[in-house]
């Protein structure tokens, strides 16, 4: 190995004090990418309903299809990174594709009045580029965080919580800035929100390219994220660009077909889960212990389905609620409905250090990862109970105080901090090295299913006298709609609490 790829001993000693500097490079890169994603998400359903004039049910289902595919494509990106490209190239490729996607949405939002047919084509194209780019970016940057540390380093949980703060600094700034420029009350201004998101993604790519060689290294000083050593030659750039174009075009087509023709995505996700499970559990190179630990990942991924399907209402039904049923007038200023999507991320930045400190302070009394995740589901259910109470017996057309949304997002944040960074760290700990990116993608596959379900649930958002139902549960008003999430998340939490001891024993199995 080239000596330039090894840190000097004194640099290694410095790196072991606190957290490696590479963590903060990944922090900054992810921050700008999340600015891009959450900034666009904050105005997406508003753009669809106010500018493109889609009805709420269609916009909700399209939102679910888009966000579902965003979490499905990491399966492809993780596979390519593990076997051909490595993490570094995949992250840069994904970032460039997402920046292009936002730029295409900028042109879409510039043409929706003068050339509606072209605008619709650009809308699906822009979302397709976002989907394909995220597939390369998301699993690879998350898996690199764990690789900065030795396998049994206790700092990993804290590192993922710090990394999660980076996600949420971007998640806080994105909706505020993109909402400030795009959600002005004039549909013609949405384009400026998309442009701001594109610029943020470009900044993230620049940060990573400039600093990765110096700081993103393993505990021994080796560069992280290089292409696999078994791959002797690079693929021709012509084939790479053609492949990326074809993959992006495929994502555009998948989104369009699912949204407008046949709703197939749920079946595709189920097939993906079954296929990956068969591939992993029939792999004779994996030991019995490794397979047991991978089984834990699959079981916990099932439970997070219930968490994210409720949590991701933030970009759909809760945005409609903020826009139409929340009193946002402060006298001198009306708060844009998109701003409320920053609350979760702001609370994460505030409370993530508290939770990181708490887990370390508890020491041997620290709850197991499954217990933390069950607690996260219960906190989510309590958040929805707050907003369900706020709208109970409220007359038609009466707007409720912002305090209910603020309180709900606070509980959702505490739940998220108990579940998401802990889950990311757990996947990294339990995954065999050769499957690290693929199993991280499996974790995001659960998010994909949850987002598709979130869109379908949001399409049941009751309006007027129209009643909706889900699995026999009828909803005639917003109170009953929000209680659905209380029941779902609460039941999943109780079941997971009952399974925690068995899951913990399986995680620690030695035979």
pLDDT digits (tens, 9 = 90+) for 200-220: 999 999 998 888 878 877 777
* Integer angstrom CA distances of residue 252 from 84, 122, 201, 425: 24, 10, 20, 32
pTM: 0.82
**Residue 357's pLDDT is what?**
83
What's phi and psi for 408, nearest 5 deg?
A: -60, -45
**Residue 395's pLDDT is what?**
67
**Residue 14's pLDDT is what?**
39
Closest CA to 249 of 82, 115, 100: 100
* Integer angstrom CA distances of residue 422 from 38, 241, 377: 21, 36, 13
Residues of the chain with pLDDT under 70: 1-17, 157, 225, 228-241, 395-396, 437, 464-465, 509-511
**Residue 3's pLDDT is what?**
36
Average pLDDT of the chain, as a whole number: 83
**Residue 267's pLDDT is what?**
82
Give yes or no for a contact between 322 and 340, defined as CB atoms under 8 angstroms apart: yes
Domains of the chain: 14-218+235-507 (1.20.1250.20)
């Amino acid at each position: 190995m080239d000596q330039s790829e090894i840190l000097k001993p004194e640099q290694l000693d410095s790196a072991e004090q606190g957290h490696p500097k590479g963590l903060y490079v990944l922090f900054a890169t992810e921050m700008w990418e999340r600015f891009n994603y959450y900034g666009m998400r904050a105005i997406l359903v508003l753009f669809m309903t106010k500018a493109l004039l889609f009805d709420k049910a269609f916009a909700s289902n399209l939102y679910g299809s888009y966000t579902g595919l965003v979490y499905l494509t990491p399966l492809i990106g993780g596979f390519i990174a593990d076997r051909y490209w490595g993490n570094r190239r995949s992250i840069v490729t994904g970032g460039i594709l997402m920046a292009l996607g936002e730029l295409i949405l900028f042109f879409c939002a510039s043409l929706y009045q003068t050339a509606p047919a072209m605008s619709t084509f650009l809308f699906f194209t822009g979302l397709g580029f976002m989907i394909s780019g995220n597939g390369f970016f998301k699993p690879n940057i998350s898996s690199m965080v764990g690789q900065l540390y030795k396998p049994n380093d206790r700092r990993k949980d804290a590192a993922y919580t710090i990394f999660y703060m980076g996600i949420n600094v971007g998640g806080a700034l994105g909706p505020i800035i993109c909402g400030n420029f795009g959600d002005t009350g004039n549909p013609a201004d949405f384009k400026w929100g998309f442009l701001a998101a594109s610029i943020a993604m470009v900044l993230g790519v620049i940060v990573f390219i400039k600093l990765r060689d110096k700081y993103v290294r393993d505990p021994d000083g080796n560069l992280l994220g290089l292409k696999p050593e078994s791959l002797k030659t690079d693929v021709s750039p012509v084939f790479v660009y053609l492949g990326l174009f074809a993959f992006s075009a495929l994502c555009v087509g998948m989104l369009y077909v699912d949204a407008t023709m046949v709703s197939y995505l749920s079946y595709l996700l189920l097939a993906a889960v079954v296929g990956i499970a068969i591939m992993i559990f029939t792999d004779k190179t994996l030991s019995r212990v490794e397979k047991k630990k991978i089984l834990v990942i699959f079981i916990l991924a099932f439970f997070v389905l219930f968490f994210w399907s409720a949590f991701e209402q933030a970009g759909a039904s809760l945005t409609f609620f903020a826009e139409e049923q929340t009193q946002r007038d402060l006298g001198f200023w009306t708060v844009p409905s998109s701003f409320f999507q920053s609350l979760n991320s702001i609370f994460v930045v505030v409370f993530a250090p508290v939770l990181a400190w708490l887990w370390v302070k508890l020491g041997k009394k620290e709850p197991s990862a499954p217990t933390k995740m069950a607690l996260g589901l219960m906190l989510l259910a309590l958040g929805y109970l707050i907003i369900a109470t706020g709208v109970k017996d409220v007359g038609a057309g009466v707007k409720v105080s912002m305090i209910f949304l603020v309180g709900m997002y606070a509980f959702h944040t505490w739940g998220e901090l108990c579940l998401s960074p802990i889950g990311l760290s757990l996947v990294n700990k339990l995954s065999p090295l050769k499957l690290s990116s693929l199993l991280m993608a499996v974790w995001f596959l659960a998010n994909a299913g949850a987002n598709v379900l979130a869109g379908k649930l949001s399409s049941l958002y009751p309006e007027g006298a129209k009643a909706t139902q889900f699995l026999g549960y009828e909803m005639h008003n917003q109170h009953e709609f929000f209680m659905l999430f209380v029941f779902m998340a609460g039941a999943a939490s109780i079941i997971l609490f009952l399974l925690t001891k068995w899951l913990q024993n399986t995680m620690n199995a030695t035979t």
